[in-house]
Amino acid sequence: MSNTGIGARIERTEDKRFITGNGRYTDDINLPGQVYASFVRSPHAHAKVTGIDAKDALALKGVVKVFTGKDMEADGLGGLICGWTVTSKDGEPMKVGGHPSLAPERVRYVGDCVAVVIGESREAARLGAEAVAVSYEELDAVVEPAQAQNQNAPKVHEDIDKNLCFHWELGDKEATDAAFDKAAHVTHLDIVNNRLIPNAIEPRAALGDYNPGSGDYTLYTTSQNPHVERLVLSAFVGVAPEHKLRVISPDVGGGFGSKIFVYAEETVCLWAAGKIQRPVKWTAERSESFLSDAHGRDHVTRAELALDGDGRFLALRAHTVANLGAYLSTFSSSVPTYLYGTLLSGQYDIAAIHVEVEGVYTHTAPVDAYRGAGRPEATFVVERLVERAARETNKDPAELRKKNFVTKFPHQTPVILNYDTGDYNACIDRASEMIDYKSFDKRRKEAQAKGKLRGIGFSTYIEACGLAPSNAVGSLGAGVGLWESAEVRVNPTGNVEVLTGAHSHGQGHETSFAQLVSDRLTIPIEDITIVHGDTASVQFGMGTYGSRSAAVGMSAIDGALDKVITKAKRIAAHILEVQPDDIELADAAFRIKGTNKFIPWGELALNAYTAHKFSTSEIEPGLKETAFYDPTNFTFPAGCHICELEVDPQTGCVEIVDYVAVDDFGTIINPMIVEGQVHGGVLQGIGQALLENGVYDVETGQLVTGSYMDYTMPRAHDAPPLRLDFTNTPAPSNPLGVKGCGEAGAIAAPAAVLNALTSAIGHENISMPATPAKVWRAIQT
């Protein structure tokens, strides 16, 4: 390992920029003649729009223009789309409710955009938005997924019966039911997977620009995938043709999934910039983020696990109602289906699994991928079931798990996935040792003596990252391919620019990706720049989500590096008058193997561009290569997290006193960055388990938790001592052996915490978030 290569624990190069306030975010960008957008949002969960009167707004000083949904319709613009078609068990495609950027006739959740006011200043636009008089005819709303299909539930989309978008199933129902019939023990569990609100530190923002001279549009926006954003805005919404639209996603301050999607606001800013021929900017206020960022989770599930007399898992079945919100967001249909049902085998060898999911519309903000996306929901089902089964059958929860672990690979699960590698025993053994599992009873007694209830909980999770190959995900309904692209440009002076289709919004790609390049080209990391986030400079790429950028994005870079090295060796061979196979690249030089004859890296690069020393009829000048990489399989990170906590029975307060995580992420590029990803993910998981809850009022459909006064974000003092370790079974599906680490913490932690909490209080009757009030009440019963 070089000191800047794969495996090196080096500081993040981008942090100097971020920490010193020199980052360049969308809101930092200002263009001449710029105006501001402010959205008129529905105060009602469900209403007919019977009139929009902009007269008073237009009379205000500084108000430039007011647009409504009718104006966009008149311009022939399409609505926002969902890029994954799920097919119901009766063979029917999912039922899609129209999603206009500005609602022309009917509003479907509090915060739905009705009109936009363009002003010379933010203040003018906002005052204008308040002055737009919208007449509403209020209608009843439904916000709870479990009630959406009721006979008398108000319809979110008039033409969609029972608010049912899809009724999907996966697995063999007959085989599963048969296994349950002969089970010695069946464990049941009713679960609510609470709604989460993403809360990236940088709110969403957009700046649309139009050049009437060239007809070119530019959109600066907070996107995790600028090329996909451009494709949707051109091919589906129809704002501008793809070659006339440039999307720039500059520094982005956190996404967690919520910035994958194409939203109404950036669509409107881009379109309005063309209409009024001035740049139009919008930056969400935090209150708008709460209302309009796509939320996460929100499942209601009944699940069962069948065991034989020895404690072997025979079958698992689950029925889930997934809240999709008022409209389908960009990938929302895939989250509670293919990213959820496929994970229900966990780390276990289970012969039969059947899952049914009803995706329902409600009068709430759209729900889509949020860190983990379906996999935390699946892990919560499996790991709570397993823990409960162990308690019901008086078995040690670690032993019951080990008895049922998959130990032979590859392993075909009954729910599509084919696990290629892993060592689940290694993770649970190491984690148990780290937390000193066998002495837990002693610690429990010590806690008892000071009036505390102590519990311990396991979560042995599996994750599927880097969804692939593209033809397989296409057959499941994906509207896109899930490969990644890279271009490696060696400049004449020898330094290197790498253009990646991935996008960094906190993950540290500028460092990790450069470590790969430094490792392979044997050049200093300072000589490498990672370029991302601009459709004008970077070739089409798929962006960053689903912990895919190391497994897929770096593999594409690796492929381009192969080509660069091959070509450079050919050039070196010409100059040194040997065969390419005689050349080796080491210590930033091309050397004839076993000799001291060499060309330094920089000299080779210059030669590639001067093209004086080789025949350009045999070798093209230049040194720049592109690769697209489509993995052969998903990767399967897995691990064991163990949480130990104490409950104060007088107040219901939960204190996590110890937390260990042993994860198998395959090859690790930068351990410091990976540890940071686990820390953040675990904190988000603890947030879901104990603190965070997106709550809509059942009667009015108002968002009750619309600010930090009521929505409990994890704070520094909520961070327990986290102790991490790693095991490594390299992923065989990509050349680097990496698996992905971005979501593991958020996937594993909720089950570990709730398993520990239910162990502490001695019963299972508590739901997330386990707030002090809920825990106290649970102890009283």
Sign of CA dihedral 8, 11, 13, 14: positive
Report how far residue 635's alpha carbon sits from residue 637's, in angstroms, rounded to the nearest whole number: 6
Residue 182 or 777: the one with the smaller Cβ distance to another protein is 777
Give least dist CB 705 to another protein, A: 7
Sign of CA dihedral 132, 135, 140, 145: negative
Give least dist CB 708 to another protein, A: 6
**Burial tier of 183 (Cβ tally within 10 Å: 0-12, 13-18, 19+):** middle
Give least dist CB 693 to another protein, A: 8
**Type of residue at 529:** T
Give least dist CB 711 to another protein, A: 6
Residue 150 or 707: the one with the smaller Cβ distance to another protein is 707
Contact 276, 119 (CB under 8 A): no
Residue 126 or 574: the one with the smaller Cβ distance to another protein is 126
Name which of 293, 511, 365, 455 is nearest 779 in CA terms: 455
Give least dist CB 780 to another protein, A: 9
Give the three-state DSSP class for 424: helix
Report how far residue 204's alpha carbon sits from residue 62's, in angstroms, rounded to the nearest whole number: 24
Report how far residue 660's alpha carbon sits from residue 283's, in angstroms, rounded to the nearest whole number: 39
Residue 225 or 364: the one with the smaller Cβ distance to another protein is 364
Q: Tokens 């699940």 appear where?
A: 303
Residue 208 or 706: the one with the smaller Cβ distance to another protein is 706
Buried b (16+ CB within 10 A) or exposed e, 591-610: bbeeeeebbebbebbbbbee
For residue 339, what are the contacts with CB-CB under 8 A and spacing of at least 6? 369, 373, 374, 375, 464, 546
Give least dist CB 700 to another protein, A: 14
How many other C-beta atoms are found inside a 10 Å radius of the C-beta of residue 310? 9
**Which CA distances in Å does 529 have to 496, 518, 526, 534, 549?**
6, 11, 8, 14, 17
Give least dist CB 349 to another protein, A: 40
Q: Give the pairing of strands 245-248 and 216-221.
A: parallel
Residue 365 or 572: the one with the smaller Cβ distance to another protein is 365
Give least dist CB 39 to another protein, A: 14
Name which of 561, 676, 751 is nearest 11 in CA terms: 676
Residue 539 or 712: the one with the smaller Cβ distance to another protein is 712
Q: What is the largest CA-CA distance in the chain?
A: 85
Residue 121 or 412: the one with the smaller Cβ distance to another protein is 121
Give least dist CB 75 to another protein, A: 31
397 prior amide bond cis, ω within 30:
no
How many other C-beta atoms are found inside a 10 Å radius of the C-beta of residue 76? 7
Helix pair 744-761, 375-392: axis angle to 10 deg: 30
Residue 195 or 411: the one with the smaller Cβ distance to another protein is 195
Give least dist CB 744 to another protein, A: 26
Give least dist CB 124 to another protein, A: 11
Residue 269 or 778: the one with the smaller Cβ distance to another protein is 778
Residue 183 or 695: the one with the smaller Cβ distance to another protein is 695
Residue 493 or 765: the one with the smaller Cβ distance to another protein is 765
Give least dist CB 706 to another protein, A: 10
Consecutive H or E run containing 554: none
Residue 374 or 685: the one with the smaller Cβ distance to another protein is 685
Give least dist CB 62 to another protein, A: 11
Q: Tokens 């899609």 appear where?
A: 96
Give least dist CB 29 to another protein, A: 23
Length of the chain: 781
Locate 111 and state its tokens. 């915060």
For residue 319, what are the contacts with CB-CB under 8 A and spacing of at least 6? 301, 302, 303, 355, 356, 357, 358
Residue 19 or 704: the one with the smaller Cβ distance to another protein is 704
Report how far residue 658's alpha carbon sits from residue 648's, in angstroms, rounded to the nearest whole number: 16
Locate 144 and state its tokens. 């709870």
Residue 87 or 712: the one with the smaller Cβ distance to another protein is 712
Name which of 395, 450, 460 is nearest 429 in CA terms: 460
Give least dist CB 384 to another protein, A: 23
Give least dist CB 292 to another protein, A: 16
Give least dist CB 719 to another protein, A: 15
Residue 258 or 771: the one with the smaller Cβ distance to another protein is 771
Residue 294 or 779: the one with the smaller Cβ distance to another protein is 779
Report how far residue 298's alpha carbon sits from residue 229's, in angstroms, rounded to the nearest whole number: 26
For residue 20, what are the contacts with CB-CB under 8 A and spacing of at least 6? none
Contact 658, 640 (CB under 8 A): no
The gap between the terminal CA atoms of the chain, to the nearest Å, is 57
Consecutive H or E run containing 377: helix 375-392
Strands (E), 483-614: 484-490, 496-500, 528-531, 583-586, 589-592, 598-600
**Residues of the shown chain interacting with another protein in the complex, contacts defined by CB under 8 A:** 123, 126-127, 130, 287, 650-652, 691, 695, 704-705, 708-713, 771-773, 776-777
Contact 102, 114 (CB under 8 A): yes
